[in-house]
Each structure stands twice: as C-alpha cells, then as structure tokens.
Structure 1
Amino acid sequence: MTCGHCEMSVREEVGEIPGVRSVEVSHESGALRVRSEQPVQDAAVLAAVAEAGYSAVRA
C-alpha cells in the first residue's frame, strides 16, 4: 500500500466481513487492525485484503 486510497480499499473490503466493527489501516506501517463483535477467521481477513488487490500475513 502506498497511499490513503489503498487504505480505504482495504478498509472497505475488510469492513464487509460479518461481525467486523472497525478496521484501522496504515499504509505507512503496513499494519491492519480489525475489531469485531465475534471471532473473525484469519482466512476471511486475508481474502478480503486480496480482494482489495493486496496481500497480507498474520503477525
């Protein structure tokens, strides 16, 4: 990710996962933080990031 638009794309895709309450994304650090009402599968988050056109790894 290189800009705010990249952050927005990831935020929107991850935000569509059922139960996700908030998504924080930083193109500067490459970090993604997801807060949810219920457990969210890592695979769902990784798939959403991929749908936005990026890749991610669990830290």
Structure 2
Amino acid sequence: MHPCSAITHASFPEALEQAELILKNVISKAPEYMAAKLALAQCMADKISCGLEVRASLIEDGL
C-alpha cells in the first residue's frame, strides 16, 4: 500500500512536516545518530513519492 493512500491526503503532508522538524532537531543535538538520519531520508523519500517538494538543504542534512 502506498503511504499516501494509507492516511487522508490532508493529514499525511502535515505528519511528514512534523516528522521532518523532529528529526532535524534530533540530528542537530546528536549529529552522529544514524537512526535519525535514516528516518529523515525515509521522510524525504515519502515526501517525494507523494509529490511534495523537498528542499536541497534537507537532502544535505539527511546525508
């Protein structure tokens, strides 16, 4: 099942934005925490697959 179809379209983008903020905060406090970086990468992939824009700077943060 595609992630965009699992949740109503209006709430999924908001959830991804919230996840992005949380993960960026975690990474800023623990830059070597690989699980947070992987979760941020998954968040970016989900945003892209749902047709949402991903900032280039976010991609750099995830790397």
**TM > 0.5:** no
* TM-score (structure 2 length as normaliser): 0.35
* TM-score (structure 1 length as normaliser): 0.36
Larger Rg belongs to: 2
Structure with greater strand share of residues = 1
